[in-house]
Chains A and B, each alone.
Chain A
Amino acid sequence: MTRRPDVVVAGGGVAGVMAAITARRHGLAVTLVDDNATPGGQVFREPSAFARTVTPPDHERREGDRLRELLRRSGVRVLSGWGIWSVQPGYRLDLSNDFAVQVLEAGSLVAATGAVERFFPFAGWTDPAVMGLAGASLLMRAGGVLPGRRTLVAGAGPLLFSVAHQVLDAGGEVVAIVDTATRTQWAARAATLALDPARLKTGVAWMARLARAGIPVLGGAVIRQARRGEDDLDVTIGSVRGGAPVRSVRCDAIACGYGLKPSLGLTRMLKARHVFDEAAGYWHPHADPFGRTDVAGLYVTGDGAGVRGAQMARLRGILTGHGLAFDHGRIDAATLAHLARPLLRAMRRLEVVSRAMTSLMNPRPAIMKEAEMHAPDTLMCRCERVSIAAGGQAIRDGAGDMNQFKAWTRCGMGPCQGRMCEDSARQLLARHTARAPTEVGAFTQRLPLRPVPVRALSGNFAYADIVLPQAAPP
């Protein structure tokens, strides 16, 4: 039994690792829990041995390796391969893997659980050749595997261009980029990139490369339908404003996603205050720059506090580490202010750019309207096979909030626990009842935060070992 740490950091992405290392440097006992085999999170995920042989050692790989090395030498206790399935105030964390469970307790908890991909359905999206944008990126970067020979890249936000670039790097073909944002919307925000020269340079290089390769970029457009052909997909593309299809293309894989949204399991479970970011179109926990939420001892850092990208996540992680040191009495206010000043200055600059990008990731309610009009039989909840039309019918029958909607359709009751369908359900409900997304609510967060194997929970036991409460009266 190791001693109770001062801090548990949940999540081994860049924010979590930096928060853990920084807090440790201030002398705090820190345990970091991460459900992946090795730390790094999504952006800096450790490539497989195969991927290391077939993909170039890019910035993310070098940074990831450096991050892992820093963590190894930091004195932070790392629990890799453990998922958190329960959290209770105080804090008690219940962890599980495929075979066992364990309990971890700490006075402070840092939720560094990052972001998850946001997706909205189109006809044919459940075909095995359709994957998320971030998923495609992981497949290539960490797995060294292309999504397909000819990939259609679709959705919203800067990840579109990053993924297209990665496909080309890996020797694949990009048949087109389908973007819900228009060229005008991009232009309006491109100016902010001047504040972030590194990102500007990358962006310009990507765009030049796409132009050289003659890859069509369709703005203000969405995938209306992907039909499975004999050995490829026949994809119809429409305008976000409706009307006749604008184009059809053939490909053998689709990478589609609408940006990222914060992962809210821990903060929702602990009833932290959440706010709805209208521009980004998602809920995030309310937190100060150090990541302090309104719940004592609970911090949120990195993209979990609002999606801003890896560079901001690093800075936020360091700030949270300093904040923890101050809150645990390891440094005084003056030291904290001194340490925080340059970080806050850098963050202010990046914030403008990041905010511009989050709004480009938000396709707004039009996207569900498009799907409902053109393909009402499309599934909105894949786990429970609930179609958009079935969702609409439940609303007409009287389901007026997210949880009644869930109960009457089973949308969100499956193994993904609503991660995939919550945004679709919210948009559908908001549009049908002519209310703001904030008014229709959110799925109630339930345990386990991720499915737990019965075998891991029950362990080895004999019937006589089962502790039984008092029996019911006859």
Chain B
Amino acid sequence: MSAVMSRPAVMDVAVLGAGVMGSTAALFLARQGRRVALIDRKAIFREASGVNAGTLTLNMTRAALVPHALKGREMWLEARSWLGRDVGAVATPGLSLAFTEAECALLEERAAARREMGAPISVVGAARALEVEPGLNTTVRAAAYCPLDGFIPAYGVGRGYCLALCEAGVEIMENSAVDGIARAGGHYEIVSAGQVIARARSIVLAGGAWLERMMAWLGLRMRVKCLVNQLVVTERLPPVMGSVVSIANGLLSLKQFVNGTVVMGGGWQGRGHVDTGETSVIPANLVGNVRLASFTIPRLSEARIARIWLGFESETDDAMPAIGPIPGWENAFVIGCVHSGFTSGPYMGRLLAQAMDGQAVDLKAFDPARLLLSLPSAHKGFCS
């Protein structure tokens, strides 16, 4: 490396974090004509946005998020119109099942809460559930049926984004672990390993599970809860199911992708910590998840498990996103940390870009100010 590094040009916006939230914001900001740098400590879409279960479900989405998830789902299904390419999103019906009396009651309660927020969910009997999904265990008692569900092979989505971002002129800076931000004159300086790697008039913090640490750079404390979700995928199978299936308590998410593999999820936890990035499987949780899956779709008992992986899912204290200006810092914005963030990600990323463009969008419910704790804190993880 040369001893004298030229100072990077001042960009309009530096987006920190190249997952779905940051990348979508970067894309729409660039299309507004801004010069955008998109920076990530690793490669694009390699954390939660690339390793999540790719769900487009409403049954499993928190009720308060249903209106946003509906819009996100639409965007994924129509990716060609705004991303310029298909990302393999598939629309299917969705079912949330009850096998016990207690689950029937829970099902009614959860369906009602989501219906109120605009999800077209109705509770149906076993016969109708088996008509929608003939692969189900016939002992099913009732199901919350939602015609609007679906899935995306999340691991490949980053490729579409990478191409679209390049076309829009976004400067993608991968493998650039940022360790601080400084205010210098009228702009921000982004520092990595003691070097200023980018300068920009505005910044967007979009670090997902790492957002708590990013906010700390600005002396602010925002608590980010971090789940370590364990996911399981089978080898390719002949068709065993055609819908997205969950159960009333939310501990199962099952779908068969176009290539025949079945992904089993449902928020079963593994071990991990965001500071080290290290994760490990908890075998007992794997057994629980696999039992639930093969009970629900009995033909899964014939499958073999090809791979288990883990990813960090981040949530704010109220599981609603933080989207908007960062209090006390000029031209600084934050986005992320919402439950099922991948589903609503494109919608929320575009929303921030519109807000930064001065368009009239309502971000009140997402105001980051509500999440700020009074005192700045030392870096501390919440995953263990």
Contact = CB atoms under 8 A, between A and B. Distances in A.
Interface of A: 86, 88, 94, 103, 394, 397-401, 403-404, 407-408, 410, 413-415, 417, 446-448, 451-455, 457-458, 461, 463, 465-469, 471-474
B294 A448 contact: no
Contacts of A473: 62, 319
A414 B45 CA distance: 21
- A417, A454, A469, A472: most-surrounded residue (chain B CB, <10 A): A454
A31 B301 CA distance: 30
B257 to A, nearest CB: 11
Given A446-B307, A469-B269, A474-B109, A408 B156 contact: yes
Contact of B158 (A404, A446, A458, A468): A404
B185 interface: no
Contact of A463 (B99, B159, B236, B303): B99
B158 A408 contact: yes
Nearest to B50: A407
Contacts of A463: 99-100, 139, 295
A94 B281 CA distance: 12
Contact of B306 (A415, A457, A469, A472): A415
B92 interface: no
B158 A407 contact: yes
Nearest to B111: A474
A447 B319 CA distance: 30
A466 B281 CA distance: 18
Interface in B21-66: 43-46, 50, 60, 62-63
A472 B156 CA distance: 28
Given A397-B159, A471-B249, A415 B235 contact: yes
B302 interface: yes
5 contacts: A400-B43, A454-B305, A457-B290, A463-B139, A472-B250
A20 B63 CA distance: 58
A451 B106 contact: no
A407 B286 CA distance: 23
A466 B296 CA distance: 12
Contact of B294 (A398, A410, A454): A454
A468 B251 CA distance: 8
B301 to A, nearest CB: 5
A104 B309 CA distance: 22
Nearest to A412: B307
B162 interface: yes
Contacts of A452: 304-305
Given A397-B163, A403-B43, A404-B43, 4 more contacts: A417-B306, A454-B303, A455-B302, A473-B62
A3 B280 CA distance: 27
A447 B62 contact: no
A398 B160 CA distance: 10
Contacts of A474: 63, 106, 109-110, 113
B308 A447 contact: yes
A398 B44 contact: yes
A398 B308 contact: no
Contacts of A398: 44, 159, 162-163, 166, 172
A455 B62 CA distance: 33
A408 B250 CA distance: 30
A102 to B, nearest CB: 12
A394 B259 CA distance: 19
Nearest to A461: B291
Output the residue of B62, B174, B281 with the most chain A CB within 10 A.
B281
B145 interface: no
Interface in B106-128: 106, 109-110, 113
Contacts of A407: 45-46, 50, 155-156, 158-159
Contacts of A466: 288, 291-292, 295
Nearest to A385: B259
Contacts of A397: 159, 162-163
A469 B156 CA distance: 31
B290 A454 contact: yes
B377 interface: no
A254 to B, nearest CB: 27
Contacts of B307: 413, 417, 446-448
B283 A86 contact: yes
B304 A454 contact: yes
A419 to B, nearest CB: 13
Closest A-B pairs by Cβ, 6 of them? A472-B250, A471-B249, A451-B304, A407-B155, A398-B162, A408-B159
B290 A451 contact: no
A175 B269 CA distance: 56
A451 B306 contact: yes
Contacts of B159: 394, 397-399, 407-408
Interface string B265-303: 001110000000000110111111011111100001111
Interface in B294-329: 294-295, 300-309, 319
A406 to B, nearest CB: 8
B176 interface: no
Contacts of A415: 235, 304, 306
Contact of A447 (B235, B281, B284, B300): B281
B192 interface: no
B349 to A, nearest CB: 19
A472 B295 contact: no
Contacts of B109: 474
A455 B299 CA distance: 10
A447 B45 CA distance: 22
Contact of A446 (B106, B174, B235, B308): B308
Interface hub of B44, B63, B287, B300 (most chain A Cβ within 10 A): B287
B234 interface: yes
Contacts of A451: 235, 304-306
A415 B259 CA distance: 13
Nearest to A269: B280
Contacts of A453: 303-305
A469 B268 contact: yes
A448 B305 contact: yes
